Amino acid sequence: MSSTPKPSPPVFIHVDGAYWELHHARSAASPIVVAELYPTGTRTEPVEATYRVAAPRWRLEESLGFVIPESMYQAVLAAPAQTIDAAPAAANDFPSADRDRWRPTRTSPVLMPGAGFATYGRILHDNAPLRTWEDGSHRIEIVSLTAGPAAAQAVSYRLWLDSDLTAADNVPVSQELDAEDDELVRQVAAHAITGRAPSTLTARQQSAVAAHGKDLLRSIALPASPYPQGTRVALVGKDGRPTDITVTVTDTITDANGATWYAVHPEISRIPGHPLREHPDAFLILSADDLVPTLQAPSSGIEPILSYGSRVRTIDHHTVTTGTVVRTFARADVPWYEIQADDLAESTVRLSAQDIEPISGSFWPSIDDLVATRTEAGIHLQEGEVLVSLSGFATVDAGPQGPVLGPERELPPRDPVLGQVWSHSHRVEPSSAGTEVEIEPL
Amino acid sequence: MGRRSTAGFARHRLTLPRDLATTAHLCVLYPGRIGARLGVAGAFLGGNRLGGGGFFFDLHEAYREGLVQGPNMVLCGAGAYGKSAIAKTLVYRSTALTPTRFTAVLDPKGEWARLGEALGWAVLRLRHGGDVRVNPFDLGPARAAAADEDLLAHRVGVAAALVAIATNRTNLPAGERRILHESLRLLTAAGTPDPTLPDLRRLLAEPPASLADDLNTTPDELADRRRPLLDAVALLVEDDLRGICDTATSVDLDWARAPGLIVDLSALLSRRRTLRLVLAAAAGWLQGAMYGSRDRHKLTIVDEAWMALEDLAITRFLQDQWRLGRQWGAANILITHALSDLRSQVDDGSAAAKIAEGLLTTTSVRVFLHQNPEQIRGLLADLGLTSTEATLLRSLQPFQALWKVGTQSAIVDHVVAPWEWDLCDTDHAMTGS
């Protein structure tokens, strides 16, 4: 006789040639998650797990080397708890050779009760962290802030060093801090690098911290005034708080009264179409009072509708990971984008706005500029397209001789250098090479 | 409380009706009929109502594991019950798991283009008098890999199918088939790597003396015998397949790397005869181009397959392709509406009906969505369903399907994720989305 069929797991993640099952185990202390890896196949008889680990959520993430998103974790907790044979062992690592092999990718199918079919990338997208700080291969995610007793709150975070999920944990922080405060990022980094007892870290974690910890702490340290060249700073708004307009310090100037001014170059100028893209020496002069050092992401110029040259990341496409918007189409109430993969050998794909995440936008001063640039690149108009610039947008309709650009409709005016309105007046200085930069002032 | 008689209870034994049990135990009660699970191989498609857990499937994987005798599948059901969306989710989700597989879809209604564009596939829109052309005799990269006799046999098969369809015949007599065979042999020997239908027409219009010799006949007798063939091929070139299959292939496809191809035939929907011819020509072209290539799995999908299956010549041609394709790693999926509708289009008991049914009954993977009551009896008799399964088909809701995979059965609650609807919805025209 057959034994009683194994109950369906709360969470199932399909990876290449295997699948993970995540369960909830009984524990007197914090909830325990059990992860089991099984080989795939059409066999119907019971299959033995090739790997099994049981640990609290953050220790499990550190061990497996991949994220268990919040909705996935809640699905595990909501399922009936199972009894496990033994208490979870101390911190250990999924064998390093297997961390890459069995790690879910964005396309990995995931089954969760109540959620039906999803992909790992889609779940990550739906459970985005409150904030992400990145510098090369190092990354910190502020996952959540949870109110605690008295004047404390707990921050949940993840740290990647050299592109490997090295640490994930909860740590108490001051209640005054919110996710946008750079100080929160610094406290999290300090906890991950120096705040945990070495005995709680695996050999892999200790090695990563030793190799990259100092670099990480140095890169997020608060710079002393006057800020050195290359310091990233944010412009301060009327309310005295940093805006999301970021610039880079190129020089420090002290005026006759002893006041400090900075020459800065807008970070948004890196995106296609920006008038300063080809003028890296051009600068704005701003008062030190208008600037504050920042760890936030560079100004990206992302608009509700992306245009030619915008950079995107797909949520779970099987061949295209990142690419560039070639065309924008209006279909129903959601834009669709024709995207050229970074791997130019791949074909272009057409994806809905709900299937991509914008990385950065584009900055076309006018529709004419956009059409001229596209034509030069061999990107001709197609019926159904929408063209968007800083000043307006236009649609492409069918004409007797082919696609025809419709009349331009204006958008609210914005700053021609910063891409959005900033409360303080400012002007652009020509580059040191003597190249004139023609920019219509706001 | 008053006293209750126990007599009523005594009359009724505590039992479950026949064929009803908890799903967890059905597999024990009906070993060999109800599988606990098919295991985890292939794309997730939905919940396994009988075995519990998810239902996963991949045609090549099922064949590799020995679950089915041939890598062929038919998906059938009444309209508006989700068969097209089920097929599209199978294809969409499989692309991540089988990135090297080449998939081609013959799409008579133009409903796969959006999925193809999202996957980065080439979308060929064939239309009468258009500028996208495919040469059904074009063998692409297979030209260098396959034996000459195999290539010639393939071309003769395509040409014979086209002529048979064009002349409303089910089969060509041996004499005409032999003329086609020797004509195509001559064309290939003359240094034309991929002869075209116009080449064949020219040769038939002015047959060289050597062709008569090859056919052991005289030029005068050949002139009479080739006349019906010449007329049929001329009609194909000048009318039915004009601007579609009347020159060399105009599509520059990298067969070694291209992930997939949609052949959109929707512009031909109102020309049923042309549509059938192009279906056969495109299927022949695809099969030829993939001929002999063993390094990639191939999957050919024929949507609205009833249009093809109502014609004996196409059905026979597809049957041959299925038989030959296995050795080259080619799998096939036919999507069609209710089988009784198919049967109503052909004379029940005729050769066409028998071959169409033969194609379906020998298909190893059969997926049934909701069937109307009048169709149940035929399914029961022809396709080996149990009486319970056949009865069940009446009550299947949209996106529920009975899967027969070799000897195993599963009832699957198919799942379409919210973001997949944009790619799977076949009601764009009705809903305006």
Res B431: pLDDT: 45
Measured in degrees and rounded to the nearest 5, phi and psi for residue A330 equal: -100, 115
Average pLDDT, rounded, for chain A: 89
User: Which range is least confidently modeled, A3-17, A123-137, B158-172?
Assistant: A3-17
Task: Please report residues of B whose CB lies closer than 8 A to that of A1.
Answer: 28
Task: Decide: A31 and A77 in contact? Cβ < 8 Å.
Answer: yes
Does residue A113 sit at the B interface (CB-CB below 8 Å)? no
Q: What is the mean pLDDT of residues A196-203?
A: 90
The answer to whether the Cβ–Cβ distance between B120 and A349 falls below 8 Å is yes
State the Cα torsion A118-A123-A125-A128 to the nearest 10°.
Answer: 170
Res B20: pLDDT: 52
Of the candidates A111, A348, A350, which has its C-beta nearest B54's C-beta? A111
Reported as a pLDDT band with limits 50, 70 and 90, residue B306 is confident
Distance of CA A233 to the CA centre of its chain: 20
Residue of B nearest to A109 (CA): B44
Reported as a pLDDT band with limits 50, 70 and 90, residue B261 is very high
Cα separation, B311 vs B314, whole angstroms: 6
Res A42: pLDDT: 61
Of the candidates A14, A118, A341, which has its C-beta nearest B417's C-beta? A118
Res A151: pLDDT: 67
The answer to whether the Cβ–Cβ distance between B53 and A8 falls below 8 Å is yes
Of the candidates A12, A345, A348, which has its C-beta nearest B54's C-beta? A12
Res B93: pLDDT: 92
Residue B45, token pair as written in the block: 């498609």
Crossing angle (nearest 10°) for helices B272-290 and B312-325: 10
Per-residue pLDDT for B35 more than 60? no
Q: What is the mean pLDDT of residues A30-54?
A: 81
When comparing pLDDT for A207 and B252, which is higher? A207
Cα separation, A137 vs B106, whole angstroms: 45
Chains A & B: contacts with CB separation below 8 Å: 102
The answer to whether the Cβ–Cβ distance between B99 and A331 falls below 8 Å is no
Residue of A nearest to B64 (CA): A42
Measured in angstroms, the CA of A411 and the nearest CA of chain B are apart by 26
pLDDT in tens, A263-309: 999 999 999 999 999 998 899 999 999 999 999 999 999 999 999 99
Per-residue pLDDT for B348 more than 70? no
Of the candidates A4, A19, A41, which has its C-beta nearest B24's C-beta? A4
Opening angle at CA A107, ends A104 and A108, nearest 5: 45
Measured in angstroms, the CA of B67 and the nearest CA of chain A are apart by 8
Task: Decide: B209 and B182 in contact? Cβ < 8 Å.
Answer: no
Reported as a pLDDT band with limits 50, 70 and 90, residue A8 is low
Residue of B nearest to A341 (CA): B120
Q: In chain A, what percentage of residues exceed pLDDT 70?
A: 92
Per-residue pLDDT for B10 more than 50? no
Interface of B with A (CB under 8 A): 24, 27-28, 35-41, 43-44, 46, 51-54, 56, 61-62, 65, 67, 93, 95-97, 99, 114, 117-122, 257-259, 415-417, 419, 422, 432-433
Res B293: pLDDT: 66
- Please name the fold of domain B23-101+298-315+327-431: Rossmann fold (3.40.50)
Res B31: pLDDT: 44
Cα separation, A87 vs A25, whole angstroms: 10
Measured in angstroms, the CA of A5 and the nearest CA of chain B are apart by 6
Per-residue pLDDT for A124 more than 60? yes
- A7: nearest Cα among B37, B417, B405: B37
Per-residue pLDDT for B169 more than 90? no
Per-residue pLDDT for B341 more than 50? yes
Q: In chain B, what percentage of residues exceed pLDDT 90?
A: 39
Task: Please report residues of B whose CB lies closer than 8 A to that of A40.
Answer: 39-41
Task: Decide: B213 and B100 in contact? Cβ < 8 Å.
Answer: no
The answer to whether the Cβ–Cβ distance between A5 and B24 falls below 8 Å is yes
Per-residue pLDDT for B197 more than 90? yes
User: Which range is least confidently modeled, A368-372, B124-128, B256-260, B321-325?
Assistant: B321-325
* Helix locations, A89-240, DSSP H: 96-101, 120-126, 182-190, 203-220
Task: Please report residues of B whose CB lies closer than 8 A to that of A357.
Answer: none
pLDDT in tens, B316-332: 777 777 777 777 788 99
Q: What is the mean pLDDT of residues B165-189?
A: 91
Task: Please report residues of B whose CB lies closer than 8 A to that of A337.
Answer: none
Of the candidates A1, A43, A351, which has its C-beta nearest B118's C-beta? A351
Res A304: pLDDT: 92
Query: Residues spanned by CATH 3.40.50.300 within chain B?
Result: 23-101+298-315+327-431
Q: What is the mean pLDDT of residues A52-78?
A: 94
Res A46: pLDDT: 63
Res A437: pLDDT: 60
pLDDT in tens, A79-105: 888 876 665 555 567 777 788 889 999
- B298: nearest Cα among B273, B325, B272: B325
Reported as a pLDDT band with limits 50, 70 and 90, residue B229 is very high
Res B271: pLDDT: 86
Reported as a pLDDT band with limits 50, 70 and 90, residue B432 is very low
Cα separation, B141 vs B290, whole angstroms: 8
The answer to whether the Cβ–Cβ distance between B40 and A118 falls below 8 Å is no
Reported as a pLDDT band with limits 50, 70 and 90, residue A35 is very high
Which residues in B57-75 are b (16+ Cβ under 10 Å) and which e? bbbbbbbebebbebbbbbb
The answer to whether the Cβ–Cβ distance between B419 and A352 falls below 8 Å is yes
Q: In chain A, what percentage of residues exceed pLDDT 90?
A: 68
Per-residue pLDDT for B428 more than 70? no
Does residue A37 sit at the B interface (CB-CB below 8 Å)? no
Residue B95, token pair as written in the block: 């692309």
- Which ipTM value was assigned to this complex? 0.80
The answer to whether the Cβ–Cβ distance between A40 and B119 falls below 8 Å is no
Reported as a pLDDT band with limits 50, 70 and 90, residue B291 is low
pLDDT in tens, B57-107: 999 999 988 888 889 999 988 888 999 999 999 999 998 888 889 999 999
* Helix locations, B236-372, DSSP H: 272-290, 306-309, 312-325, 339-345, 351-361
Average pLDDT, rounded, for chain B: 81
Residue A339, token pair as written in the block: 């995207």
Per-residue pLDDT for B33 more than 50? no
Residue A174, token pair as written in the block: 């001051």
Does residue A118 sit at the B interface (CB-CB below 8 Å)? yes
Reported as a pLDDT band with limits 50, 70 and 90, residue A381 is very high
Measured in angstroms, the CA of B363 and the nearest CA of chain A are apart by 19
Per-residue pLDDT for A428 more than 90? no
Of the candidates A12, A349, A354, which has its C-beta nearest B119's C-beta? A349
Task: Please report residues of B whose CB lies closer than 8 A to that of A5.
Answer: 24, 27, 36, 51-52
The answer to whether the Cβ–Cβ distance between B114 and A8 falls below 8 Å is no
User: Which range is least confidently modeled, A393-407, B243-257, B370-384?
Assistant: B370-384
Task: Decide: B147 and B294 in contact? Cβ < 8 Å.
Answer: no
Does residue A122 sit at the B interface (CB-CB below 8 Å)? yes
Res B9: pLDDT: 39
Res B350: pLDDT: 59
Reported as a pLDDT band with limits 50, 70 and 90, residue B139 is confident
Res B430: pLDDT: 41
